[in-house]
Amino acid sequence: MCALQANASSRENSSLSSADASAWDVNSANAELEGAPAEHVLRWAKDTFANGLIMSSSFGAESAMMLHLVSRVAPGIPVVFLDTGYLFPETYTFAEDLAKRFKLNLKVYSSGTSTARQEALYGRMWEGSEEDLARYQQLNKVEPMDRALRELGAVAWIAGLRRQQTDFRKGLRVVEPQDGVVKIHPILGWTRDDVKQYMQTHNLPYHPLYAYGYRSIGDWHSTSATTLNQDERDGRNLGEKKECGIHLPRTKEADESLKSSGL
């Protein structure tokens, strides 16, 4: 909460002031929101953070679900799309299609270092060590996301994480302070069946590569198809932590804890 209050005064476009920040606390919020419908969580986030609220989307396999959900409850909020320069061509076209369909306020962010320069200086980092992977994530995902949060004046950030996806995500709460912003996880408790049901009910499209076995979709060089008896995240080569970096806390203590737990 201290980090949230310290950053709030510099975000002139947000209606959340330091006084507002002290009017709620994370434990009370989680007591109210744990198990609540996703729409209720999103309305709470919209009412609490107003113009300081953003969301991120990878435009992956089932991203239409979160984009549809948020566009119904909080239309017009900035949607951050990280373009690593290594996405599948189908991802770019899928993002354009969904942006038009849901009238998204799309904000595309990329690394300040071109992919050609990255490979010249560091080689194919995704084929290297954990340190190489960390550099790749920092250049193409962490720094661009940090810049997006800063430039958009974000106080709170909606993300479509689910506890079923990774060991790290099992320990998350619906409302989670992270590195100076508040992360909101409206579908944290959803199962794969819940996602499937929502997609079917609203006739939403899957990513074009989903039909070919790609159930967790990121960069082309680190994504592969999976079989139905595999976990969806088995198709992603993201290093030991099984995360792309932007959803991990980055304090030294938290990072050491994740490493020691084998994530």
Cβ distance 14 to 49 under 8 Å? yes
* Spatial CA neighbour of 55 closest among 137, 145, 157: 157
Report how far residue 44's alpha carbon sits from residue 160's, in angstroms, rounded to the nearest whole number.
Answer: 16
Catalytic residue chosen out of the listed positions 41, 95, 244, 263:
244
Residue 105's alpha-carbon distances to 54, 100, 123, in angstroms, are 10, 10, 35
Secondary structure element (H or E) that encloses residue 167, with its range? helix 167-170
Coil, strand or helix at 158: strand
Cβ distance 51 to 15 under 8 Å? yes
Coil, strand or helix at 176: strand
* Spatial CA neighbour of 101 closest among 195, 184, 203: 203
* Spatial CA neighbour of 246 closest among 113, 136, 117, 93: 136
Q: Residue 236 gets which letter from DSSP? A: B
Cβ distance 91 to 223 under 8 Å? no
Q: Does 244 qualify as catalytic in the annotation?
A: yes
Catalytic residues, by residue number, are 244
